[in-house]
Amino acid sequence: MVCLQEIKCKELGLHEIFKMWGSNEIEWVVNGNENNAGGVITMWRKSCFHLSNVSNGSNYSIIEGEWRLEDAIQTVVVNIYNTGSVIKKKAIWEEVRVKRLMINTKVWCVVGDFNSIKCSGERRSVGCDVDHKSEMRRFNAFIESSELVDLPMLGRKFTWYKPNGLIKSRIDRFLVSREWLDRWPESKYRVLDRAVSDHCALVLDTVTVDWGPKPFRYLDVWHKDSRFREFVRNRWLSYEIQGGGLFVFKEKLKLLKADLNEWNREVFDNIFSRG
């Protein structure tokens, strides 16, 4: 699937869309803004994704459908292009958050130009005043309240550059649900070199490499229990393993995995087995 923002939707025809995709084995959804000066377009290979519903909002499209891979996966993809004032951005975030609560499908991916950053380190050569800090808090609140995860980014630290290269920001990203990560746990995205746009293209990679058994699964919810840190600390110090540093570390992780699984069952009633 390809999600593009700030597209001259009024000027797009079949020839232009086929040229962008590379063939006519394609379906798409276009959402232009108020005066058709720009908008977003979402494209996919029609043999791989079956569209069931589209909901266009102000500067975003919500695409519901079924990935036809090794099995059928009901999925929601949100293509977002957030511009304007902080008030307008907040309104769009709230609309998407409410849609997330209303739609039964749990596998979500929200991608695009959010035109906001999560922390001051994601912007260079721009002063981070009180207004920027307030916007960062709101953006982070949207991610948390929507129960989305910010995927790891590879290749570059920033996704948007001024022509002189001195001002740059990480304002484009992929946010996914926990259910998405349950299905594609190795999800991450690469930032490509800039071409014709001041934004870099992002490529999502969901390929899973089998590295063997994982040391343990880690859940953010554990931090909500005040006993968690003390439990891990006491268990880690209690393990008596002899050998080199890496060997000791590996063996302690194996023991900690077993102890955490048992603690998880006692405290959270085995959250790993919940549907």
Domains observed in the chain: 2-205 (3.60.10.10), 220-273 (no CATH)
Enumerate the H helices of 103-242 as residue ranges. 130-145, 178-183, 228-238
- With bands split at pLDDT 50, 70 and 90, how would you rate the model's confidence at 117? very high
Across residues 168-175, what is the average pLDDT?
94
Average pLDDT, rounded, for the chain: 81
Distance separating alpha carbons of residues 135 and 156, to the nearest angstrom = 23
Beta bridge partners of 43: 2, 28
β-bridge partners, 94: none
pTM score over 0.75:
no
Neighbour count for residue 139 (Cβ, 10 Å): 22
Say which DSSP state 138 is in: H
pLDDT in tens, 36-49: 455 788 888 888 89
Instruction: Examine the pLDDT at 143 and tell me if it is beyond 80.
Output: yes
**Better-predicted residue by pLDDT, 246 or 90:** 90
